[in-house]
Amino acid sequence: NVNQITDVDGVVHRTFNDFKMLHPDFILTFDDDLVQPALVNIRQDHLEQIIIILADNAIKYSTDRKEIHFALSKSATRVEIGVQDFGEGIESEDLARVFNRFYRVDRARSREKGGNGLGLSIAERLVKAYGGEITVESALGSGSIFTIRLPLVSEPTSDENSPL
């Protein structure tokens, strides 16, 4: 991968705003806990693609409660991006498999919604390629939260910035 330092805040906000415009029938909320820029060593289009996959799924697998919640926070070492829906949810026995290539929980019903079962496997592959992780918490009938965590680029110290 080509090294590229990306400001996570900007990318997530842009994608959030795109989804707001594309899905006016949804209520989209964003809980942004970042105080300073969160810089991550990831190609910007790759980060964007990961978030689009999660947000697309959140829309696709929502039922009557058309709400999507984005959350952004960071610790000392990593940034955390969450995408939550209040839709159909995933049974615990299927949870571990949703990241597998071509895996779809409900083949018959999902087929109507379109898709090949590739999105999450691509998202996972990308997140791992950049040293991060992706996890899911879900309950059948009440919704899902997909969370990705990526290592922060450590800020240069004032020493390293000094021309001397």
Of the residues 26, 43, 117, 135, which one makes contact with ligand ATP according to CB under 6 A:
117
Binding of residue 90 to ligand ATP (CB under 6 A): yes
Q: What residues between 16 and 75 interact with ligand ATP by CB under 6 A?
A: 57-58, 61
Of the residues 1, 22, 91, 115, which one makes contact with ligand ATP according to CB under 6 A:
115
Binding of residue 103 to ligand ATP (CB under 6 A): yes
Binding of residue 124 to ligand ATP (CB under 6 A): no
Cα 153–chain centre separation: 19
C-beta separation of 47 from 8 below 8 A: yes
Query: To the nearest whole angstrom, how small is the minimum distance from the Cβ of residue 41 to ligand ATP?
Result: 25
Binding of residue 110 to ligand ATP (CB under 6 A): yes
Query: To the nearest whole angstrom, how small is the minimum distance from the Cβ of residue 155 to ligand ATP?
Result: 34
C-beta separation of 104 from 94 below 8 A: no
User: What is the torsion angle, in degrees rounded to the nearest 10, for the CA atoms of residue 20, residue 23, residue 25 and residue 27?
Assistant: -30
Residue 2: Cβ within 10 Å count: 5
Closest CA to 82 of 154, 145, 151, 141: 145
Query: To the nearest whole angstrom, how small is the minimum distance from the Cβ of residue 129 to ligand ATP?
Result: 17
59: three-class secondary structure by DSSP: helix
C-beta separation of 9 from 152 below 8 A: no
Query: To the nearest whole angstrom, how small is the minimum distance from the Cβ of residue 34 to ligand ATP?
Result: 24
Closest CA to 17 of 36, 32, 6: 32
Of the residues 16, 70, 72, 87, which one makes contact with ligand ATP according to CB under 6 A:
87
Q: Which residues are at the interface with ligand ATP (CB under 6 A)? A: 57-58, 61, 85, 87-90, 98, 103-106, 110, 115-121, 144
